[in-house]
Structure 1
Amino acid sequence: MINTNITNFRKNLFSMLEQTIKYNEPINISTKEGNAVIISEDDYNGLMETLYLCLIPNMRERIMEGLKTPIDECVPENEVQW
């Protein structure tokens, strides 16, 4: 995470935003009133998707259970027909 103050952020706005977009590097901007964090759109969309999935009853448990399942047990070989 890049940590900067508002003055430095204003001076380097384009390059800092470009780094956030290209490398998904969040920016923490400190001001007199408090801090703000800027993240890339990709990271934002990922967070929103994660929140959505966590709101579905039992989804978190099903995902955790699925992570423990060996890949060869996930889809029987002859079950998928293209």
Structure 2
Amino acid sequence: MSNTITATDARAKLYNLLSQVNTSHSPVTITGKSGNAVLVSEDDWNAVMETVALHAVPGLVEDINAGRDESIDTTPLTW
């Protein structure tokens, strides 16, 4: 669930908000007169962008889902 804060409050609490989104991995919505924005950690943003990039590859999601249902042969290792 996302927290919501005004731009004025976000400005005053910026360093705390940075810590919060990096610790909790929960986005913060910042509301303003000209529109809203969302503050997320860099790690979370990179994960979102990677997911978007993977979904942009035609057929990749379908191939991954098909691979989940496909059994593979295994050979036991004797150590």
Q: Does 1:78 align with 2:56?
A: no
How do 1:10-49 and structure 2 match up within 5 A?
A: 10-49=11-50
Q: Structure 2 regions of 5+ residues with no counterpart? A: none
What secondary structure sits across from 1:76 in the alignment? coil
- Tell me how many residue pairs correspond in the alignment: 76
Q: Please say if 1:55 is aligned against 2:56.
A: yes
1:54 shift after superposition: 1.0
Superposed CA RMSD in Å reads 2.1
Asked if residue 64 in structure 1 is aligned to residue 65 in structure 2, the reply is yes
Shift of 1:63: 2.1
Identity percentage of aligned residues: 33
What is the TM-score normalised by the length of structure 2?
A: 0.81
Structure 1, unaligned stretches of length 5 or more? none
What letter corresponds to residue 56 of structure 1 in structure 2?
Answer: V
